[in-house]
Chains A and B, each alone.
Chain A
Amino acid sequence: GQSLEQPSEVTAVEGAIVQINCTYQTSGFYGLSWYQQHDGGAPTFLSYNALDGLEETGRFSSFLSRSDSYGYLLLQELQMKDSASYFCAVRDNTGGFKTIFGAGTRLFVKA
Chain B
Amino acid sequence: DADVTQTPRNRITKTGKRIMLECSQTKGHDRMYWYRQDPGLGLRLIYYSFDVKDINKGEISDGYSVSRQAQAKFSLSLESAIPNQTALYFCATSDQSGANVLTFGAGSRLTVL
Contacts and interface: CB of A to CB of B under 8 A. Distances in A.
A31 B94 CA distance: 15
Interface in B44-90: 44-45, 48, 50, 56, 58-59, 90
B99 A48 contact: yes
B30 to A, nearest CB: 12
Contact-residue bracket for chain B = 20 to 34
Given A8-B40, A43-B43, A43-B104, A50 B98 contact: yes
Q: Secondary structure at chain A's binding surface: helix, strand, loop or mixed?
A: strand
A95 to B, nearest CB: 6
Interface of B: 33, 35, 40-45, 48, 50, 56, 58-59, 90, 94, 98-107
Given A48-B98, A91-B99, A100-B45, 10 more contacts: A30-B98, A33-B101, A35-B102, A42-B105, A48-B99, A48-B101, A50-B98, A101-B42, A101-B43, A104-B42
Interface of A: 8, 30-31, 33, 35, 41-45, 48, 50, 87, 89, 91, 95-104
